[in-house]
């Protein structure tokens, strides 16, 4: 933009816009001018009370200058972005706790009392195919977490809404086989994780 053809680095995703710049006070002032031009051109106002500025690998004092210049809040690390914890440690069980709790809630035992085995299989497929994929495409799933998710699925499939110990009538490996191979077509979460991470290569 401008007569010199200055490049402005930004990334747009859904309804979010990320501006990427070097840690210089001048860049913060330039960004404020860009936002002001946007207001004048579109007649929309930027809500700075909802706007946050954050930095990774930079001095805290510089980050405070950025937030003061832009008149917005300082975002502390770790923070949640699009439902995922940024700068957390994916090797720890606590990092995966929100995801496992949501899966457990969606596959709660009371739902098993109301639907048959076909409905439970469909619900397991929909929950696992939609919800954790965002996490699994970025981080390697620890074995203890995958075992916990597997246990939630098994209890929901065979539990019939009971909290007691369940009898697993079929091996989970056979259940994960396709319907052509006489399985139920459920997907192994560990293999999904490996496939999603392999896509980055």
What residues contact 10, with CB distance under 8 A and at least 6 apart? 17, 18, 19, 20
pLDDT score recorded for residue 108: 74
The four Cα atoms 71, 72, 76, 81 give a dihedral, to 10 degrees, of -150
The per-residue pLDDT for range 107-133, each reduced to its tens digit, is: 776 666 677 778 888 888 887 766 667
pLDDT score recorded for residue 40: 92
Average pLDDT over residues 156-165: 66
Q: Is pTM, for the whole model, over 0.75?
A: no
pLDDT over 80 (residue 191):
yes
**Is there a contact between 183 and 176 (Cβ–Cβ < 8 Å)?**
yes
Range with the largest mean pLDDT of 20-34, 46-60, 75-89, 163-177: 20-34
pLDDT score recorded for residue 83: 67
Cα–Cα distance between 113 and 94 in angstroms, integer? 30
Q: For residue 13, which of 90, 98, 84, 64 has the smallest C-alpha distance?
A: 84
pLDDT score recorded for residue 150: 85
Q: Would you list the domain boundaries of the chain?
A: 10-77, 88-198
pLDDT over 60 (residue 161):
no
Cα–Cα distance between 30 and 52 in angstroms, integer? 16
pLDDT score recorded for residue 156: 80
Looking up tokens 């917005």, which residue turns up?
Answer: 72
Cα–Cα distance between 160 and 145 in angstroms, integer? 23
Cα–Cα distance between 51 and 64 in angstroms, integer? 14
The per-residue pLDDT for range 91-110, each reduced to its tens digit, is: 888 888 888 888 888 777 66
Average pLDDT over residues 33-58: 84
């Amino acid at each position: 933009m401008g007569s010199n053809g200055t490049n402005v680095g930004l990334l747009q995703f859904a309804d979010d816009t990320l501006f990427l710049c070097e840690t210089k006070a001048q860049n913060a002032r330039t960004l404020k001018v860009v936002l002001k031009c946007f207001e004048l051109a579109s007649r929309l106002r930027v809500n700075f009370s909802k706007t946050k500025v954050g930095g990774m690998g930079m001095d805290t004092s510089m980050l405070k200058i950025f937030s003061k210049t832009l008149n917005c809040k300082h975002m502390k690390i770790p923070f949640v972005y699009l439902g995922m914890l940024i700068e957390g440690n994916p090797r720890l069980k606590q990092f995966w706790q929100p995801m496992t709790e949501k899966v457990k809630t969606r596959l709660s035992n009371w739902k098993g009392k109301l639907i048959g085995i076909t409905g439970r299989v469909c619900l397991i497929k929909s929950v696992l195919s939609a919800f954790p994929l965002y996490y699994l495409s970025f981080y390697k799933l620890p074995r203890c977490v995958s075992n916990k998710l597997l246990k939630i699925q098994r209890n929901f499939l065979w539990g019939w809404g009971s909290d007691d110990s369940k009898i697993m009538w079929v091996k989970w490996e056979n259940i994960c086989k396709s319907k052509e191979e006489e399985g139920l077509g459920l997907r192994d979460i560990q293999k999904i994780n490996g496939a999603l991470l392999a896509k980055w290569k």
